[in-house]
Structure 1
Amino acid sequence: MRTICFYFQVHQPYRLKPYRFFDIGEDHYYWDDFSNRTIIRKVAQKCYLPMNALLLELIQKYQGAFKVTFSMSGTFLDQLEAYAPDVLESFQRLVATGHVELLNETYGHALASLKSKEEFTDMVQKHQEKISRLFNGYQPKVFRNTELIYSDQIGEMVADMGYEAILTEGAKHILGWKSPNYVYNNANNPKLKVLLKNFRLSDDIAFRFSNRTWADYPLTTDKFVNWINAIPKEEQVLNLFMDYETFGEHQWAETGIFEFMRALPDAVFKHSDFGFSTPTEIINQVPGIGKIFVPTPISWADEERDLTAWLGNDLQDEAFDRLYELENQVKKIDDPEIQRDWKYLQTSDHFYYMCTKFFSDGSVHEYFSPYDTPYDAFINYMNVLSDFVLRVKAKLKEAEKV
């Protein structure tokens, strides 16, 4: 039987409060608690709570034949503990069914894999500890890097940490004529399996579902099942990867997105030869067909599927480089607030807000950004980082005196 892997990224950043130049050295708390609390409660009501209830209903209805997979960032889990314990409990109920897989990632939803193996490994370990504590000792076997960022080298680091598989984008410029609907192997360490997102069918749900100008609008379960039935029989795996906020937040309830998901498993079971599996089940049942070569990093963002959503312009590169110049100093400091801020300042969203792209990708960046312009995002971040530098230096001086 061929199989569908539904994977959802669940992430919320800790947003920075407006931080002026004159606050540097005076105000050492950077986070917009009101905004963070308000946003996570809003998304909880629109997405997390109703969608978790729907998934639990489907898992129970189909007695585990319907399965899904999540990766939840550490910043998201921290906010659930602080502002939305009811949402955390609903995720715990899902995982307790035994038909939901959790993936590991970087605690701070960070870009550390591009800069520091040591920091990357540390972030992954902290996330593992968080998952284990909140989900009854759960130990993920599969990895999902921030924004599906992947390269041969990153995959090798992930394999060295003991993970059996990694998820990434089925980018056209990497695949060429190949299909994303197979299991591949990492080029540097073939023991690591690589699962690739089918971006066309994923994005039909995540981005095009409510687009009335789309030639295939409206998307029905019958139409979607016809498309998956058209996949060649030898292609065994259909990976549908998307933001969890697709359901109810990006695609509002009024679009019919919840009804679509409620009806989809039944349509798949009755009218196709597909079932549903988690990544671990797939890699245990489906052999890899060969190596996938990804010499330079890819991601699931924007048309280019590269790193330019977060890095590449002068603003982003300056902020990124100044941040990681502090790594060795921060590691010497035993202070929970310094360590917390260090993790949260690495979150990829801060660099995403600095993106200066135009056209369709630019409009997506504007939609997610709390700032009026990328330059405002850069100035606010650098003001915060300047104060953080002062705190790090002061802590190191204190340590020298002891």
Structure 2
Amino acid sequence: MKAICFYFQIHQPFRLKRYRFFDIGNDHYYYDDFANDDIITRIAHRSYIPAAESLLRMIEASKGKFKCAISVTGTALEQFEQYVPEFIDLLKKLAETGCVEFLAETYAHSLSSLADPDEFINQVKVHDEKIKELFGQTPKVLRNTELIYSDELAPLIQSMGYKGVITEGAKHILGWKSPNYIYSAASAPKLKILLKNDKLSDDISDRFSNTSWEDYPLTADKYIDWIASTPQEEQIINLFMNLEVFGDFQPRETGIFQFLEALPRFAEERGIDFWTPTTAVTKLKPVAELSILHPISWADEARDTSAWLGNQLQNEAFQKLYSVSERVRLCQDRRLKQDWYYLQAADHFFYMSTKNMHDGSVHSQFSPYDTPFDAFTNYMNVLADFIVRVEEQYPMSIDNEELSSLLTTIRNQEREIEVLNKEAESMRKNIEHFNEEHLLREKAAEEAAAKKAAKPRKPKAPKAAAEKPAKAEPAKAEPAEPKAE
């Protein structure tokens, strides 16, 4: 039995407005609300909404046999709630079918896994809480930002309780191996790895409407035939892509929605199932361990992290941002923490990429800036103001050693408070239990007394009058005999 595992990514960052040097210290609002509203509303109506409606029709037409996974960032969810709430309703309908699994990821689509494990754990936890709140699911499989993964991350992901992780089936990692199997992490053997089938995924996301492609036009029956023709022992075909592929990267006029909706029918004819990532890692056993020494991603030909950290500009901004992470976590300023999340989005670093600057690369296509240097300058101006606000809370005069000691004290106090709270809760429950037992005993005693009082008494029979014994009359003295004379 062969199965297809579809995963769709949804992400939109909070884009920054033009922020000048002279704004530092004077303007603490960093975002281009007009652009954010315009972009997410336009993409939602052109892509997200019709794609979600297609998924609902596929589930209904297949009577629940079609299944897939969706990963949506916290920053995207916030914008949907603000600008396109009808899409949130569609996502809820998908969740209610029981055929769509929501994955875990960083709330802000950040690169925190490469810089700060504590921040990574915190963001994934906050994201899980958001998914639970909106869709009633607790994610069991993690999808890190841009499918970033390495051996160093695996033990951390496993310790967080996830059954599996999905990442790129990069050729330089797999070599002769196939991505169409489940693997286990070399550094955390209990963690299972799902690998993107790069060719079959890109056939849809990149080549579907390319008229110069030798396999154009791509039809649903042809595509399913390709999957069915893979070796029998290869049981899982992982198709990972952005949901924007449907209607945005590949416009409606190309027939992309008809192609998508036809897949379940042809898959059923060929005996191919659709599984969610959790089903895949539950049903299938790993065929081998997979070691990935250096972080990989699904971006660019290199499939590494150079799309975000490949030049001096990006690394300077990245290091400057995470230099204040400990201080931000200490503060209680809600607005500051919100800005901290929004400024961590990987998109800001992506716009600074100098890769193929002048050949219309994907980096320049998605950037709102004229050049990577404009992106760097604007971001660093915003970051400078942000750091000023952080310093007002925790000055930089506190060195790292002192800050570390302070953090250790705070964490110890938090643990102590947690223990005391647990003890207090236990004592409260014991007192409640004692009071309940006491009340039950009192109630039982009152009921017993009431029953006794209400019980009718039998009339007492009159006692027979005790006959008084007759008084013995004194014996009469008999006359003495006359004395003889």
TM over 0.5: yes
Percent identity over the alignment is 54
CA distance, structure 2, for counterparts of residue 359 and residue 177 of structure 1:
33
Per the alignment, residue 151 of structure 1 pairs with 150
| Residue type at the aligned position of 2:141 | V
- Alpha-carbon contact 2:351-2:367 (below 8 Å) kept: yes
Q: Is the 8 A contact 2:41 2:83 kept in 1?
A: yes
Deviating beyond 2 angstroms after TM superposition, the runs of 4 or more aligned structure 1 residues are: 359-362
Residue type matched to 2:352 in 1?
Answer: M
- After superposition, what is the alpha-carbon deviation per residue over 1:20-49, rounded to whole angstroms, capped at 9, x for unaligned? 111111110001111111111101111111
Are 1:48 and 2:32 counterparts?
no
Q: Do structure 1's residue 189 and structure 2's residue 188 form an aligned pair? A: yes
Deviation sequence 1:110-152 (CA, Å, 0-9, x none)? 000001111110111111111111113x101000000000001
Contact 2:81 2:88 in 1 (8 A): yes
Deviations 1:240-265 (A, max 9, x none): 00011101011110111001001111
The separation in 2 between residues aligned to 1:298 and 1:38, in whole angstroms, is: 33
Asked if the contact 2:357–2:364 (Cα under 8 Å) also holds between the matched residues in 1, the reply is: no
Q: Counterparts of 1:227-376 in structure 2 under 5 Å?
A: 227-270=226-269, 272-358=270-356, 363-376=361-374
Could you tell me whether the CA contact under 8 Å between 2:8 and 2:71 is conserved in 1?
yes
| Structure with greater Cα Rg | 2
In structure 2, the residue corresponding to 1:119 is in which secondary structure? helix
> What is the alpha-carbon distance in structure 2 between the residues aligned to residue 197 and residue 362 of structure 1?
26
Q: 2:11: which partner in 1?
A: 11
SS of aligned partner of 1:179: coil
Q: Following the alignment from structure 1 to structure 2, what is the Cα–Cα distance between the partners of residues 370 and 97? A: 37
Which residue identity lines up with residue 150 of structure 1 in the other structure? Y
Deviation string, structure 1 residues 375-401 (Cα, Å, up to 9, x no partner): 11100000000010111112336xx9x
| SS, match of residue 260 in structure 2 | helix
Alignment check: 8 A CA contact 1:356 1:362 kept: no
Q: Tell me how far apart the structure 1 counterparts of residues 244 and 359 of structure 2 sit (CA, whole Å).
A: 18
SS at match of 2:247: coil
Segments of structure 2 that go 5 or more residues without pairing to the other structure are 399-485
Report the AA paired with residue 260 of structure 1.
Answer: F
SS in 2 for 1:357: coil
- Preserved CA contact (<8 Å) 1:181 1:198: yes
Give the match for residue 97 of structure 2: 97
Shift of 1:73: 0.4
SS at match of 1:15: coil
Unaligned runs of 5+ in 1: none
Instruction: Give per-residue Cα distances to partners, 1:258-291, cap 9 Å, x unaligned.
Output: 0100111111111x23110001111111111111
Residue number in structure 2 paired with 1:116: 116
Alignment correspondent of 2:200: 201
* Greater relative contact order (CA < 8 Å, ≥ 6 in sequence): 1
Shift of 1:360: 9.9
Residue 153 of structure 1 aligns to a residue whose secondary structure is coil
CA distance in 2, matches of 1:293, 1:141: 22
Residue 274 of structure 1 aligns with an amino acid whose one-letter code is: I
- Structure-2-length-normalised TM-score: 0.80
- Cα separation, 2, equivalents of 1:362 and 1:184: 37
The equivalent residue for 1:72 is 72
**Residue identity in the other structure for 2:118:** E
Equivalent residue pairs, number? 396
Q: Which amino acid aligns with 2:176?
A: W
